[in-house]
Amino acid sequence: MSLLKSFNRRAKTENETGLGTNTSMTGGRFFNADGTPNIHVQGMKIWARLNLYHMFLSMPKWKFIFSVILFFISINLLFAGIYLFIGIDHLNGMIAHSPLEKFGEAFFFSAQTFTTVGYGRISPIGFAASFTAALEALVGLMCFALATGLLYGRFAKPRAYIKYSKNALFVPFRNGVALMFRMVPYTKNFLVNVEVKVTLALQVLEEGINKTRFFNVPLDIAKANTLVANWTLVHMINEESPLFNLSKDDIESGKAELLVFVQGFDESFSNTVISRASYLYTDFVYGAKFAAMYNPSSQGDSTVLHLDKLDDFEPSPLPENFKL
């Protein structure tokens, strides 16, 4: 099916997205479902654009732990090899006999020196071994200082801690239809002064050229004083909506993508945090509504929020006269 040849001219376009508009020059969605940009950078040497500090702060937890362990093993293997090259007779207190045992003794002596533990059974003899041990102790102190800074940076890094529903729903609402998705904070660091901005990316045909147009998607409520429970974001499909008079086929052929940007102030971090999400046209569900994800407690004195029900929805047919 061809790209859209017409769209709602009354919808307000968004010209400050920072994203490309030429569809022949872009591929796939603009943002992944988790909000990360769907961009692969090429054309520059990796060491020219490599930011180790940012990389270690942003990489997944298991990768960070694996990288630290791998570095620790590698650096001690290197120094153990240096000690063996200098000579085992320059390490006083060695009791190993086989080559493998000698290497093991050198490796663990290196680990003790690197961490400045220094049990004392093995000690360097001579200038070369002593200099290597002193250099390794210095490298170890510097590396542990860097590791401590990275650990603190990862621990104290401001994050929004927001989860989004898997799907965006077209829901019967106020004698019409609305597009809805919802989000919820999943830790106890609550946000205040939360603002949500939604942009619709839609491929259209303009003057014979395929382009991606960006439209502002007005929300029924776009700001909240605080975010402590789930929040369902509602966009009414009316004459001001970029989706007005578009059919399901139009939305799919236009490869619609809903870009969600959330900003709020985190009381715990005392800092502004941001979060992003993206819904592709394949994530849209037509004729459904979200199921309730909270209820009163058994004592009736508090509200129970069920995070595992964030994605739950149930059928809700759209009005027969609605184009979708």
Give the domain ranges of the chain. Answer: 23-40+159-315, 47-156
State the CATH class of domain 47-156.
mainly alpha
Q: What is the spatial distance between Cα 288 and Cα 280, in angstroms, rounded to a whole number?
A: 17
Per the DSSP assignment, residues forming a β-bridge with 227 are: 191
Residue 194 identity: V
Q: What is the spatial distance between Cα 308 and Cα 88, in angstroms, rounded to a whole number?
A: 59
pLDDT 10s digits, 148-199 = 999 988 888 888 889 999 999 999 998 889 999 999 998 877 889 999 999 9
For residue 322 the two structure tokens come to 């609605």
Q: What is the pLDDT along the chain (324 residues), one digit of tens a residue?
A: 445 554 555 566 665 565 655 555 566 777 887 777 777 777 777 766 677 888 888 888 899 999 999 999 999 999 999 999 998 888 888 887 888 888 999 999 999 999 988 888 888 899 999 999 999 999 999 999 999 999 988 888 888 889 999 999 999 998 889 999 999 998 877 889 999 999 999 888 777 777 888 999 999 999 999 998 899 999 999 988 999 888 888 899 889 999 999 999 988 878 899 999 999 999 999 999 999 998 998 888 888 999 999 999 999 888 776 666
Q: How many CB atoms lie within 10 A of CB 31?
A: 22
DSSP state of 135: H
Q: How many CA atoms lie within 13 A of 232 on its CB side?
A: 21
DSSP 33-58: TTS-B-----SS-HHHH--HHHHHHH
Question: What is the reported pTM?
Answer: 0.75
Q: What is the spatial distance between Cα 167 and Cα 312, in angstroms, rounded to a whole number?
A: 9
Q: Please classify residue 72 by burial: count the beta carbons closer than 10 Å to its beta carbon, then call 0-12 exposed, 13-18 middle and 19+ buried.
A: middle
What pLDDT, on the 0 to 100 scale, is given for residue 32? 80
Q: Does domain 23-40+159-315 have CATH number 3.40.50.10490?
A: no
